[in-house]
Amino acid sequence: MLLDRLYDALTFPLLIKLCVAGVVVRLLHNKYGNGINHIPGPFLAAFTDLWRLWIVWKRRPEAVHIRLHDKYGKLVRIGPNTVIVSDTQAAKQIYALNAGFSDFYPVQQTVAKGRPLYTMFSTTDEAFHAKLRRAVSNAYAMSTIVQYEPLVDSTTTAFLAQLARRYADNRVVCDFGTWLQYYSFDVIGELTYSKRLGFVDRGEDVDGIIRDLEWLLDYVAVIGQIPILDRVFLKNPFRLWKSKHGYSRSNTPVVEFAKKRMAESNDDDVEDGKDDNNNNNNNTDEQQQPKQLDFLSRFRASHRKDPAFIGPDRVLALTVANMFAGSDTTAISLRAVFYHLLRRPEAMGKLMAELTAAVGERNRNKEDEEEVLGEEGDVGGDDGWASSLLRWSDVRDLPYLGAVVNEALRVHPAAGLPLERVVPAGGVTLSCGGGGSGGNAFLPAGTIVGCSAWALHREADVFGADVDAFRPERWLEGSVARRAEMRNCLFAFGAGARTCVGKNVSLLEIYKLVPAVLLNFELELVRPEREWTIHNAWFVKQSDFFVRLRRRTREGVGKCRAV
């Protein structure tokens, strides 16, 4: 009895000491055992990834990253095995590696039937990514995207009509940031399925889709900093078992919409291709091209070409990925354009002068200008929204509009976390500019390394000393070589082989909607003395963006001049 008590008394303290010793050894290994102790950074960050989880939890990691680079230099250690880099030349090295992707990406994979669904963004398999991108890349080529312009116009005219009816005509304050997200969701729905989800028409978050997306992004941003936690929460064995056997939560509203739309659509190209297997595969590519102008039709065309790889489930996954990836990011970019223009009237004046000239150029050969501008002096008018739109061919080469878009993407890129890569075998020596921790820096194999667009876009050597200012003119000044360098260093859509496949879709929406809104309405910030609110949950979303709208008159457009 006495020996048992003595044993218990000795064992419990010993276990405590062993646990403490194990934690200490682990923390010391984290700091000194990964070969990156020469990279400066916050003291606690070297010991545990809990530090970077905490800064993401606070929802402004992009601001923290900028401050860290200001303090420590171009390379900063933000975890036991993680380094962030703010140097455009080093960024080109990092994203040319394409050798490995961190476990941050699988956290974003959704689960169906007990298995993760791989997309072009969430997969870590380079061979799979390359094959999938080749299979669907034609659907995202600019030569294809411009064929989608009528679908964009359909949602744009509905959007303009709602702004007029709900806000401009009633002098009611508009939550413009929210409406831009409604627009982006419905445009990508129309582009993908030839049918809107109903955000613009109903003026509300349909079936809580935006709410669900925000929850998912909050989860991914935080849990992605310590990815093993995902196997505890959403991808634990019990939840995977429930999913496999059909006991888990039903599909999200976007998936349900996608399934319904795929079942409804009388896709002519399915009829064209249903006997492919009986025709000795002699159909030409031209014969297999879809007749409809939406992504679903084109993905089905890819399915017919390679049904083993692009199966029905993958077609569904591609369309759903379109919805989630293409809505929030474009809405963020649109908000950035409008918000910064409203806070810089001289830039707004220059853009309006350019857009007015573009309207005049388009109308020069029109016999009746009233057809374009409306019957009662309002641009557009109740029945004239479609005729008030500028075409892609009218706006794609407008220099100041292009400068405004580039500057908005620079000062407020959508992605707010580093795009992580894993250093391959043999390590890599990054060539960074001078200053701080600049110069050459060796990172051993296995190191997680990445760049934040928010930090890269504030590199003064590339973008000028006034990097914190919204100044579109920087994209029109200087030599041709300098402007080309700035364009090459714009990281808003990523870099390397993983550059955002939907870049052209987003640009088409932005270049179409910005002129459409500005030529039809005068906008005014409700509280110009206050900044908007920023919430970084992987995507840096803005809120508290309220405006008043007034319809522009024909005379008002004509009077627009550069300030």
Look at residue 318 and tell me whether its pLDDT is greater than 60. yes
Residue 129 has a pLDDT of: 87
* Percent of the chain's residues with pLDDT above 90: 64
Is 56 in contact with 222 (CB distance < 8 Å)? yes
Is 210 in contact with 185 (CB distance < 8 Å)? yes
Say how far residue 563 (Cα) sits from the centre of its chain: 33
Look at residue 210 and tell me whether its pLDDT is greater than 80. yes
Look at residue 274 and tell me whether its pLDDT is greater than 60. no
Residue 250 has a pLDDT of: 57
Residue 83 has a pLDDT of: 98
Beta bridge partners of 440: 431
Residue 562 has a pLDDT of: 41
d(CA 537, CA 332): 12
Express each pLDDT in 414-437 by its tens digit. Answer: 999 999 999 999 999 998 865 445
Say how far residue 125 (Cα) sits from the centre of its chain: 21
d(CA 2, CA 9): 11
Residue 536 has a pLDDT of: 98
Look at residue 363 and tell me whether its pLDDT is greater than 90. no
Between 370 and 75, residue with greater pLDDT: 75
Residue 264 has a pLDDT of: 82
Express each pLDDT in 18-62 by its tens digit. Answer: 888 888 888 888 899 999 999 999 999 999 999 999 999 999 999
The residue-averaged pLDDT of 80-104 equals: 91
* Percent of the chain's residues with pLDDT above 70: 86
Residue 431 has a pLDDT of: 87
* DSSP character at residue 382: T
Look at residue 477 and tell me whether its pLDDT is greater than 80. yes
Residue 437 has a pLDDT of: 54
Q: Residue 375, SS3?
A: coil
Is 217 in contact with 229 (CB distance < 8 Å)? no
Q: Is 500 annotated as a binding residue?
A: yes
For the ranges 107-116, 210-219, 331-340, the one whose mean pLDDT is highest: 331-340
Delineate the domains of the chain, giving CATH numbers in brackets: 34-266+293-369+382-551 (1.10.630.10)
Is 148 in contact with 192 (CB distance < 8 Å)? no
Express each pLDDT in 183-207 by its tens digit. Answer: 999 999 999 999 999 999 999 999 9
Look at residue 256 and tell me whether its pLDDT is greater than 60. yes
